[in-house]
């Protein structure tokens, strides 16, 4: 998986957020928001040109390629994470379960630091990359309902 110190792949053609299907609506919305915000920070090209309304007021741009929010079970999220770790053509962000167990970011970081990569329990994952690659991994997942 790419980190902020590595070179990111070219501007993504497709982005998806996959949320753990066991999350209640509020927790699912939170996880999707956290992942989307971080994805936008990592890929500034995902923020479109500003929007201007009929009164010439300018509004911040939105993602020009769309972003699907899908659901998966814990095992599917783990499998997606493994693909992400081994695919240099795709970028992604994980949201470990500890992210909704505290409001103290330092405590969250500490909790993640003592869990091996393969043992991280995920609330969600964001994937960004080539259409074909992302679609192959997520094409059978359902939309968040």
For the chain, count helices (H), then strands (E): 4, 7
77: nearest Cα among 14, 119, 115? 119
Residue 87 has a pLDDT of 85
How far, in Å, CA of 16 to CA of 102, rounded?
25
Confidence category of residue 4, pLDDT binned at 50, 70, 90? very low
**pLDDT exceeds 70 at position 59:** yes
Residue 88 has a pLDDT of 84
> CB under 8 Å to 43, separation ≥6 — which residues?
8, 11, 12, 91, 128
The whole model's pTM is what? 0.88
């Amino acid at each position: 998986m790419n980190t902020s110190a590595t070179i990111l792949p070219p501007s993504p053609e497709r982005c998806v957020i996959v949320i753990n299907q066991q999350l209640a609506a509020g927790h699912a919305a939170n996880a999707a928001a956290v992942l989307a915000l971080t994805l936008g920070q990592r890929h500034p090209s995902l923020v479109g040109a500003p929007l201007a309304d009929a009164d010439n007021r300018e509004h911040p741009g939105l993602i020009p390629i769309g972003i699907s929010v899908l659901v998966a079970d814990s095992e599917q999220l783990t499998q997606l994470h493994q693909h992400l770790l081994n695919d240099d053509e795709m970028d992604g962000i994980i949201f470990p379960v500890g992210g909704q167990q505290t409001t103290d970011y330092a405590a969250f970081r500490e909790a993640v630091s003592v869990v091996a990569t393969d043992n991280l329990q995920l609330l969600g994952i964001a994937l960004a990359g080539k259409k074909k690659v992302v679609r192959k991994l997520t094409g059978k997942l359902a939309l968040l309902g």
